[in-house]
A and B are shown apart, each in its own frame.
Chain A
């Protein structure tokens, strides 16, 4: 199965709200047959610009990273679901490439 990465921006909430939203998201993923590998928190940061979503203007958001393995067919459904979630400011699913073998960087050596 190909490996995807969900870069999730959640609304800036208190801890119980965030953890509930995360739990919801991961459970949705697992319901659709994904295998969640890892969950990372990139902190609560200032958004690069104010994002308006669900009739609310957000200036801060919590950035989270979810690695998962899934079938490609679920992605559209998943994104649809996430767009409808009120706590989610912006969901983005990206494909994770296989690690390139680290070789010597091309370019003039110093």
Chain B
């Protein structure tokens, strides 16, 4: 007779039931067809509920009327919905709207193409300028390097000439004696004195 149940009613029953109980529900048809009838139900004759004739007739009429009305209303509403849907898709307004959208689309595409062309022009100019700049910079760099190299060469040439000049004063085997004598005759003194005002005194005592 009692079975453990499942479904949405379970949640409600679970909330309302006390905590310790097991939740069960009465379910029809526990007995199979071969089970004997219960003692309390022996000799029971099932009788349908009594019906009053006039009441029945009146009720039937009212019911038919009522059902007709509700059916009519329902169908009307359904039709309205369908009509609306139809008009939405294939009404006159729909055509207008579709046309306008197409117009807009075309206008926007045209505008876009215009913009693209314009940007193309701008871009071409910019690229041209950039390439020109790059070229100019390149040329300048080359020229600069050339110039630096030239300067370098000149510097070195100057150094070489200076060295050649100095080479005339170098000590050789022939000069050696003379230079030694000259050196011994002229002692050189690199010492000097300086004070805070910056006065230099080169004459110092050589021990």
Q: Which residues of A line the B interface, CB within 8 A?
A: 15, 18-19, 22-23, 26-27, 30, 35-46, 64
The interface centre, meaning the residue of B170, B171, B207 with most chain A CB atoms within 10 A of its CB, is: B171
The interface centre, meaning the residue of B181, B187, B189 with most chain A CB atoms within 10 A of its CB, is: B187
Q: Which residues of B line the A interface, CB within 8 A?
A: 166, 169-171, 173, 176-177, 179-181, 183-184, 186-190, 206-207
Q: How far is the CA of A35 from the CA of B168 in the complex (A)?
A: 12
Q: How far is the CA of A103 from the CA of B155 in the complex (A)?
A: 19
Q: Separation in Å of the B185 CB from the closest CB of chain A?
A: 8
Contact B180 A42 (CB under 8 A): no
Contact A37 B166 (CB under 8 A): yes
> Which A residues touch B170, using CB under 8 A?
35-38
Contact of B183 (CB < 8 Å), options: A27, A37, A64: A64
Given contacts A26-B176, A39-B183, 9 further A-B contacts (CB under 8 A): A18-B184, A26-B180, A37-B166, A37-B170, A39-B171, A39-B179, A42-B189, A44-B187, A46-B207
Contact B180 A45 (CB under 8 A): no
> Which B residues touch A64, using CB under 8 A?
183
The interface centre, meaning the residue of B169, B183, B190, B206 with most chain A CB atoms within 10 A of its CB, is: B183
Q: Separation in Å of the B103 CB from the closest CB of chain A?
A: 78
Contact B169 A38 (CB under 8 A): yes
Contact of B189 (CB < 8 Å), options: A15, A19, A23, A43: A43
Contact B190 A22 (CB under 8 A): no
Q: How far is the CA of A15 from the CA of B180 in the complex (A)?
A: 10
A-B contact pairs, 21 of them (CB 8 A): A19-B177, A23-B177, A23-B180, A27-B173, A27-B176, A36-B171, A37-B166, A37-B171, A38-B170, A39-B171, A39-B179, A39-B180, A39-B183, A40-B188, A41-B184, A41-B187, A41-B188, A42-B189, A43-B187, A45-B207, A64-B183
Q: How far is the CA of A27 from the CA of B177 in the complex (A)?
A: 11
Q: Separation in Å of the B42 CB from the closest CB of chain A?
A: 130
> Which B residues touch A18, using CB under 8 A?
184
**A110 (CB) vs chain B CBs: closest residue:** B198
Q: Separation in Å of the B26 CB from the closest CB of chain A?
A: 109
Q: How far is the CA of A20 from the CA of B190 in the complex (A)?
A: 25
The interface centre, meaning the residue of B170, B179, B180, B181 with most chain A CB atoms within 10 A of its CB, is: B180
Q: Separation in Å of the B170 CB from the closest CB of chain A?
A: 5
Contact B184 A45 (CB under 8 A): no
Q: How far is the CA of A19 from the CA of B183 in the complex (A)?
A: 10
Q: How far is the CA of A44 from the CA of B173 in the complex (A)?
A: 25
Q: Separation in Å of the B11 CB from the closest CB of chain A?
A: 90
**A44 (CB) vs chain B CBs: closest residue:** B187
Contact of B206 (CB < 8 Å), options: A36, A37, A43: A43
> Which A residues touch B179, using CB under 8 A?
39
> Which A residues touch B169, using CB under 8 A?
37-38
